[in-house]
Amino acid sequence: MDYLETTGRIFDVQRYSIHDGPGIRTIVFLKGCVLRCRWCCNPESQEYAIQTMKVQGEDKLIGRDVTVREMIELVEKDRPYYYRSGGGLTLSGGECLCQPGFSRDLLRAAKERGINTAIESMACAEYGRMEELFPYLDLYLMDIKHTNPVKHKEFTGRSNELMLENARKTALSGQTKLVIRVPVIPTFNDTVEEIQDIARFAATLPGVDKIHLLPYHRLGQDKYEGLGREYLMDGIEPPSAEHMDTLKRAVHAVCNLDCQIGG
Q: Of 41, 34, 94, give the one whose Cα is nearest residue 233.
A: 41
Binding of residue 40 to ligand SF4 (CB under 6 A): yes
Binding of residue 12 to ligand SF4 (CB under 6 A): no
User: Which one, 33 or 53, has the nearer CB to ligand SF4?
Assistant: 33
Binding of residue 244 to ligand SF4 (CB under 6 A): no
User: Which one, 31 or 104, has the nearer CB to ligand SF4?
Assistant: 31
User: Which one, 33 or 133, has the nearer CB to ligand SF4?
Assistant: 33
Q: Give me the least distance between CB of 41 and ligand SF4, in Å please.
A: 7
Choose the binding region for ligand SF4 from 39-47, 54-62, 111-119, 128-136 (rule: CB under 6 A): 39-47
Choose the binding region for ligand SF4 from 29-37, 56-64, 104-112, 162-170 (rule: CB under 6 A): 29-37
Angle at 42 between CA 240 and CA 168, to 5 degrees: 80
Per DSSP, 176 falls in state S
Restricted to residues 79-108, the positions that interact with ligand SF4 (CB under 6 A) are 93-95
Q: Give me the least distance between CB of 113 and ligand SF4, in Å please.
A: 27
Binding of residue 46 to ligand SF4 (CB under 6 A): yes
Binding of residue 33 to ligand SF4 (CB under 6 A): yes
Residue 220 CA to residue 23 CA, distance in Å, equals 25
CB-count exposure of residue 242 (10 Å: 0-12, 13-18, 19+): exposed
Binding of residue 45 to ligand SF4 (CB under 6 A): yes
Indicate if the alpha-carbon torsion angle 59, 45, 107, 132 is positive or negative: negative
Q: Give me the least distance between CB of 184 and ligand SF4, in Å please.
A: 13
Kindly give, in sequence order, each residue whose CB lies less than 8 Å from that of residue 102, ignoring residues fewer than 6 positions away: 6, 7, 8, 9, 30, 68
Angle at 45 between CA 170 and CA 183, to 5 degrees: 55
Residue of the chain from 10, 37, 106, 115 that contacts ligand SF4 (CB under 6 A): 37
Residue 201 CA to residue 235 CA, distance in Å, equals 31
Restricted to residues 175-214, the positions that interact with ligand SF4 (CB under 6 A) are none
* Beta strand extents in 48-193 (DSSP E only): 51-55, 58-62, 64-67, 88-92, 116-121, 139-143, 177-184
Specify whether the CB–CB gap between 223 and 174 falls below 8 A: no
* Binding-site ranges for ligand SF4 (CB under 6 A): 33, 35-37, 40, 42, 45-46, 93-95, 122
